């Protein structure tokens, strides 16, 4: 998990899009949606900072 390594070295907030259960049914069908949703959430969060 890349985010864990980053958080160990640098105090930050990580926003991730989760698109599967990482099991035998794993596929990339929802990957773009999850990435777009995470990006939209991060933008909304940053927009709230004065």
pLDDT on residue 34 = 94
Phi, psi of 15 (to 5 degrees): -110, 125
Tally of structural domains, the chain = 1
Higher pLDDT, 47 or 22: 47
pLDDT grade, residue 38 (50/70/90)? very high
**Contact call for residues 26 and 11 (beta carbons, < 8 A):** no
The token pair that represents 36 in the structure block: 């777009």
pLDDT tops 80 at residue 21? yes
- Stretch 4-33: mean pLDDT: 88
Query: In whole angstroms, what separates CA 11 from the centre of its chain?
Result: 16
Task: Give the domain extent around 27.
Answer: 2-47
Q: Where are the alpha helices (DSSP H) in the chain?
A: 2-9, 31-47
22/33 Cα distance (integer angstroms):
16
């Amino acid at each position: 998990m890349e985010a864990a390594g980053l958080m160990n070295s640098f105090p930050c907030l990580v926003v991730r899009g989760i698109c599967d259960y990482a099991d035998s049914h794993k596929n990339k069908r929802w990957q773009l949606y999850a990435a777009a949703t995470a990006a939209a959430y991060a933008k909304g969060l940053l927009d709230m900072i004065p």
